[in-house]
Amino acid sequence: MGSSQSALNFGAGPAKLPSEVLYDVQQEFLSYKNTGMSLIEMSHRSKEYMEINDNAEKAVRELLKVPSNYKILFLQGGGCGTFAAIPLNLMNRTGSADYAVTGTWSAKAAKEAAKYGKYSQNLRDREVFPDESTWTLNPNASYLYYCDNETVDGVEFPKIPNSHDVPLVADMSSIRCYIWRCPKNIGPSGVVVVIVREDLLGNAMKVCPSVLDFTHVAKEKSIHNTPSTFSVYVMEKVLQWIKKNGGVAAMQTQIVPLTIGSEVGLIYHFVGGKNGNESLEAKFVEEAEKLKMYQLKGHRSVGGIRASLYNAITVSDVELLVKFMVEFQKQYGPKP
């Protein structure tokens, strides 16, 4: 699982990918499986691409132990496209949905949902994670939506919330290995993974674009129109790499939770944010880049510094980052 790259990439997405996978893609880039053609030149209906598509689906099913009554779909349009696809496909049942707004991403999802029906925001306090017992859920909601890891705000759900009899929709895009939408940690941008229970299909609104219609995509096994073939191809390789390296369990335990500043989690925010020192943050980024540590700038909406530790980040990568942080603190932090 080592990195042959010289740079340390802590980007939040697009993010670091396993170096073995990148090397493999490079090796076969001009001639996929000795066809004399690049994979990116081949039809999405060629037997070569159909096999990649099938294998990617099988790998997701195996790695995440997806039951057979759930469909696995590959969509385009990124997380924001899926924010629309969810109400377009699932809100028709009752015309309303519950959104647990705990940060930037769930707020965006709720805003998009408002185009298609009513929604209730349950959790307005973004600073402290609200206790589940205090939520007021609508028993007639078509679904309860939540974002497992709010990467901008640093809010992570401690456990899967109880939605009682209402279907639960989870944005799992920024979990180490777990996936739901943009697989930023299992491939390049351009593909979204949606896992949906079969009995929820068939309820798309009339105004749902075909490319976002889960039922249509499921029927056509994600090749209803030309997908971003390169994205699915690289994702399939990363999924095989995860399998080879011990599966989801290994990805989850590989990095021991480390305490940096006051936050523990898989995405660390430190030095600032809203109350930060912008010139010190710029200095941090500048000094880090001298050591070839990249993409540490916080999300543009909140500033600060952010280090994302997805699947391909190794323990030694983190150790190097911590070492640098400790030294930075010594040099630029408050003197005793």
Active-site positions read 105, 171, 184
Q: Least CB distance from residue 159 to its own copies, whole Å?
A: 28
Report how far residue 179's alpha carbon sits from residue 173's, in angstroms, rounded to the nearest whole number: 5
* 190 binds its own copies per the rule CB under 8 A: yes
Report how far residue 148's alpha carbon sits from residue 130's, in angstroms, rounded to the nearest whole number: 14
Query: With respect to its own copies, which residue has the nearer C-beta, 77 or 103?
Result: 77
Q: Least CB distance from residue 129 to its own copies, whole Å?
A: 26
Q: Which of 74, 99, 116, 324 binds its own copies (CB under 8 A)?
A: 116
Residues 6 or more apart in contact with residue 46 via CB below 8 angstroms: none
Point out which span in 91-99, 120-128, 148-156, 294-302 binds its own copies (CB under 8 A): 294-302
Query: With respect to its own copies, which residue has the nearer C-beta, 42 or 141?
Result: 42
* 112 binds its own copies per the rule CB under 8 A: yes
Rounded (10°) CA dihedral 194, 195, 201, 205: -30
Q: Which of 155, 212, 288, 307 binds its own copies (CB under 8 A)?
A: 212
Amino acid type, 283: K
Q: Least CB distance from residue 165 to its own copies, whole Å?
A: 28
* 174 binds its own copies per the rule CB under 8 A: no
* 211 binds its own copies per the rule CB under 8 A: yes
Q: Which of 33, 58, 115, 197 binds its own copies (CB under 8 A)?
A: 115
Q: Find the binding residues for its own copies in span 244-263 (CB under 8 A).
A: none
Q: Note whether 187 and 235 are within 8 A (CB).
A: yes
Dihedral sign for Cα 13, 19, 21, 27, please: positive
Point out which span in 7-15, 66-74, 92-100, 255-263 binds its own copies (CB under 8 A): 7-15
Rounded (10°) CA dihedral 52, 57, 61, 63: 40
Q: Which of 230, 272, 280, 329 binds its own copies (CB under 8 A)?
A: 230
Q: Find the binding residues for its own copies in span 11-70 (CB under 8 A).
A: 11-17, 19, 22-23, 25-26, 29-31, 35-38, 40-46
Q: Note whether 6 and 22 are within 8 A (CB).
A: no
What is the number of other CB atoms lying within 10 angstroms of the CB of residue 22? 18
Q: Which of 56, 84, 271, 288 binds its own copies (CB under 8 A)?
A: 84
* 5 binds its own copies per the rule CB under 8 A: yes
Residues present in the chain in total: 336
Binding track over 152-171 against its own copies, x by CB under 8 A = --------------------
* 78 binds its own copies per the rule CB under 8 A: yes
Residues 6 or more apart in contact with residue 247 via CB below 8 angstroms: 63
- Give the single-character DSSP code of 270: E
What are the residue ranges of helices labelled H in the chain? Answer: 19-27, 47-63, 78-90, 104-113, 214-219, 229-244, 247-254, 278-290, 315-332
Q: Residue written as tokens 């066809």?
A: 35
Question: Is residue 158 reached through a cis peptide bond, with omega within 30 degrees of 0 on the bond before it?
Answer: no
Report how far residue 27's alpha carbon sits from residue 216's, in angstroms, rounded to the nearest whole number: 35
Report how far residue 295's alpha carbon sits from residue 299's, in angstroms, rounded to the nearest whole number: 10
Query: With respect to its own copies, which residue has the nearer C-beta, 143 or 310?
Result: 310
Q: Note whether 191 and 231 are within 8 A (CB).
A: yes
Q: Least CB distance from residue 73 to its own copies, whole Å?
A: 14
* 88 binds its own copies per the rule CB under 8 A: yes
Q: Least CB distance from residue 5 to its own copies, whole Å?
A: 5
Phi and psi at 71, nearest 5°, equal -90, 145
- Return residues touching its own copies (CB under 8 A): 5-7, 9, 11-17, 19, 22-23, 25-26, 29-31, 35-38, 40-46, 76-81, 83-85, 88, 112, 115-116, 182, 184, 188-190, 205-212, 224-231, 234, 292, 294-295, 300
